[in-house]
Amino acid sequence: MENESNRLHIFFLPLVLQGHMIPMMDMAKTFATSGAKVTIVTTPICSTLFSRQIERVHQLGLDFNIQTVKLGLPEDWENLDAVTWSQNQVELLDRFWKALSLLREPVLHILEEHRPDCLIADLFFPWATDVAAQLKIPRLAFGGTSFFAMCTMRVIALHQPHKRVSSESETFIVPHLPGEIKLTKTQLPEYLRQELDTDFSNLAKEIVESELKGYGSIFNSFYELEKDYADYYRNVLGRKAWHIGPVSLCNRDTVDKALRGMEAISQHECLKWLDSKKPNSVIYACFGSLTKFSPEQLVELAKGLEASRQDFIWIVRKDKNEEQDWLPDGFEERMDGKGLIIRGWAPQVLILDHESVGGFMTHCGWNSIMEGVCAGVPMVTWPMFAEQFYNEKLVTQVLQIGIGVGSKQYADFGIGADFVSRDDIEVAVRRIMAGAEAEEMRRRAKKLGEMARKAVGEGGSSDSDLTSLIEELRQHKAARESR
């Protein structure tokens, strides 16, 4: 047993979005399994959402703690996944971004009380770098995305290639980046396209500055997946970084995988349905907790799935105030036994790992991409906002394990997204599910899944990076305590 005085105490500060909290929880569990004492700082609402996972971690005998702070907003805004989005509420996001800065003093107070050895904080808390500096501890930034996306964002910000095209739809090459990556202005966030002076655009600048000043960055990725971009981030952009993923693989048994679904339907209902299907015959469609489709787009998606003639599981976001009458007439009756619609959360890792699932239709959030890679399934890509268009390029162009539906318009939370036709949906689904092209993509995807498991195994690339990081943090702790 490691001497208690030598043991690292690491604080984690995730953004209050489940897409950011889930990998941060898995990451904390990974550090705790390696012998560190870990503490998560979050809001009371988010703490409640993850109570079952925390209870499970305690059952495993890990030193895992929670500290709560108030965000200073109404309770239904302390978990953005629960918000029913509208154009007006998107405008109210400025209030949310401002509220994040108000956490600085209460978080500093908690850190001063507990005196941890390291702070791993989401990129959306740029002030965390200065807070860590006050305590003379390293701040590691976590963005919840890929090396590829981070490199793309930084190169576009540095060289601004989008300013040299003549129209919104004209493609430009991201300069200096391996792979000749092409994008359009329509796939970039509005504040970049129009150089808006907003609270969010100012926050984005602060994020870049704090990343430059910080100790380094930590990624939920593995070297073999995007080695050219991990090397570019470190050697060309000059950033210190560690890849320790896929962190979802820290959940090795069925109980842990199911708990990541949080408010999931009974896993037995879902898995029993999958058990009745042939291997690689089902496409799983899920678009994360924040994507909002119009009723018209939902109808078109339903008709595209039906036209593809593939068995499917479709996860539909459950809004508090949304009527559920958008399905085409008779759709659920026609799809009885052919398709399973789940409204709300589902045990995604368990579904993707099932042998009957042969494809994944995704919004290209990084957690979903990583979980799809671990499961070894090809993907239908349908990006909407954030870094999702960049992740799509990694999947379809670099890794060649996916087909896009043709989404071209950046749209926050999906509001104002371009309309994707049933024909485009049908074609993309068929291309990844059947035929020689699908088999080749599936072969590549399975190989990546094997690489992912090896990466987190003993002596693998992610295991080695984690070991190296922990040793560096120990040396930093010893040097600080000797002064």
User: Which residues partner with 37 through β-bridges?
Assistant: 9
Residue 238 to residue 210: CA distance in whole angstroms: 14
Residue 60 to residue 48: CA distance in whole angstroms: 19
Among 435, 156, 425, CA closest to 305: 425
What is 34-100 written as a DSSP string? TT-EEEEEE-HHHHHHTHHHHHHHHHTT--EEEEE---SS-GGGSSGGG----HHHHHTHHHHHHHH
Among 401, 53, 27, CA closest to 245: 27
Q: Give the three-class secondary structure for 340.
A: strand
Angle between helices 51-59 and 18-33 (to 10 degrees): 10
In sequence order, which residues have a C-beta less than 8 Å from that of residue 176 and are 6 or more positions away?
Answer: 155, 159, 236
Catalytic residue among 20, 162, 243, 354: 20
Residue 127 to residue 419: CA distance in whole angstroms: 39
Among 159, 156, 125, 118, CA closest to 143: 125
* Cα atoms found within 13 Å of the Cα of residue 163, Cβ hemisphere only: 8
Tell me which DSSP letter residue 345 carries.
Answer: B
Catalytic residue among 117, 122, 412, 465: 122
Is 20 one of the annotated active-site residues of the chain? yes
Burial class (CB in 10 A: 0-12, 13-18, 19+), 279: exposed
Residues acting as catalytic residues: 20, 122
